[in-house]
Structure 1
Amino acid sequence: MANIQTLDPSASPLDYYGWELRRLREANNLNQTELGRCIFCTGSLIGQIETTKKVPTRDFSERVDAALGTDGVFSRLIGLVLRSQLPSWFQPYAEMESCATYISTYQAQLVYGLLQTEEYARAVLATGMPEDLDGQVAARMERQRILERERPPLTWAVLDEAVLHRPIGGPEVMRRQLQRLLDVTGHRWMQIQVLPFAAGEHASLDGSFTTMRFEDDPDIVYTEDIVSGHMTASPDTVREAALRYARLQAAALSVEDSAALITRVMEERYGDRFRAEERAVA
């Protein structure tokens, strides 16, 4: 007789998801292999998700809902599950981010998380050597769903030019990432400026920061250090951040010139000519 792992549905959102998946699968008189066939995956994957060894995806959840006729139970639950996979210190920020009506961010090292492609995010997150890289990537992609709303937060990103040149994941990944920036910058709710190297010293040499505004709550400033994140609603800090951001915007290229620079870097550093030169050197 198989050894059935006992689950505690109150232990975590992931445990509850696995418990519900097993309960509803059995209520439909399906074994793991049979359900796997219905949703085009292996029975082994079903078992791993039921026992919390694998984190489900949104696509998996939608297919399970369709197969089991669960009226969107797993599609509604998956957001909570994926948010729980974020680092504990980051979860409060993600919760506030999902409620923001306006986000302004300066990024000195990397593309802002809400704008990262899945490949780029995977390369970035892999540097931390997480136990469940797939889960963390899925959680980051889930955060981006706030940009798909009918009324997404107005978002303004100032990226240091170094972000464009740092080859995260290799040339192909970077080319697709820069194309993603060009694709979204045409939306009325998204503005991207590049702070060029030529700007020299600037108002945020200390590093990246993000400010969020809300309909009914005070503004919040968010910063990170090497191991954690910090949020504050201190009026003095919010005022200082707003002043610094205004100076960054003034020093940065216009939205149109920024798009032109992104295009030029994409072609010169990560385009066909770059790949040809790389092969010639090799």
Structure 2
Amino acid sequence: MSATAPARWSGSKRPTKKSRKAKPPPDGGKCCERPGRSTETPTNLVVILEEHVLRRPIGSPEAQVKQLEHLLSAGSADHVEVLIMPTTHGPHAGHSGGFVLYEMPEPYQHVAHVETVAGSLYVEESAVSHLQELWEDLVRGALPKPESAALIKSILEEKAG
């Protein structure tokens, strides 16, 4: 929906992107199994999306419906929050662009990733503190999780209509 949505990851695991499917090892992956993996605490993810990106007609109506259904499904997980910044909120700190805050476990420092037209930028300490303040401002302006889900569902019903 929006590649520049502010987001926050926190937890003991760092998020990764899979750019391609890896071939399983010859033993079927048993060498890579980690005991207790299913009981690990999942990484928390909070994403704030602008209401207008949910309404913007990009792709086919069917694709838009599937995207909204996916947001509802993903946002229903306990460790995921999909929050919506309502259009009625007006100007806010997120208009300058998207960023991702990575809250790392001790002893590591928190890190932020900022996408700009000039490329990616990773920042630490003082700049992260500034982005954390922006984040808190955005969270205060966004709808809470239940209201965000209700708004997504409402827009989904309009588009599926």
Q: TM-score range by the shorter chain?
A: 0.7 to 0.9
Tell me which residue corresponds to 1:185.
75
Equivalent of 2:46, from 156, 162, 165?
156
Over the residues paired in the alignment, what is the CA RMSD in angstroms? 2.3
CA distance in 2, matches of 1:159, 1:231: 21
Equivalent of 2:109, from 192, 196, 218?
218
Tell me which residue corresponds to 1:174.
64
Equivalent of 1:246, from 136, 142, 152?
136
Q: RCO (CA 8 Å, sep 6+): is it higher in 1 or 2?
A: 2
Aligned residue pairs, count: 136
Tell me which residue corresponds to 1:264.
154
Greater Rg over alpha carbons, structure: 1
Give the ranges of 4+ consecutive aligned residues of structure 1 lying more than 4 Å apart after TM superposition: none
Tell me by how many angstroms 1:228 deviates.
1.8
For 1:122-143, what per-residue CA distance to the aligned partner results, in whole angstroms no more than 9, with x for missing partners? xxxxxxxxxxxxxxxxxxxxxx
Structure with more of its chain in strand, by fraction: 2
CA distance in 2, matches of 1:198, 1:153: 31
Confirm whether residue 230 of structure 1 aligns to residue 121 of structure 2.
yes
CA distance in 1, matches of 2:28, 2:57: 40
Tell me by how many angstroms 1:56 deviates.
6.3
Structure 2: tracts of 5 or more residues without a match: 1-18, 33-37
Aligned ranges 1:21-100 → 2 under 5 Å: 57-58=21-22, 61-62=23-24, 70-72=26-28
* TM-score in terms of structure 2 length: 0.75
CA distance in 2, matches of 1:149, 1:165: 37
Tell me by how many angstroms 1:250 deviates.
0.6
CA distance in 2, matches of 1:178, 1:254: 17
* TM-score in terms of structure 1 length: 0.44
Tell me by how many angstroms 1:227 deviates.
4.9
Alignment CA distance shift 1:185-1:56 (3 Å): closer
Confirm whether residue 208 of structure 1 aligns to residue 90 of structure 2.
no
- Secondary structure of the structure 2 residue equivalent to 1:205: helix
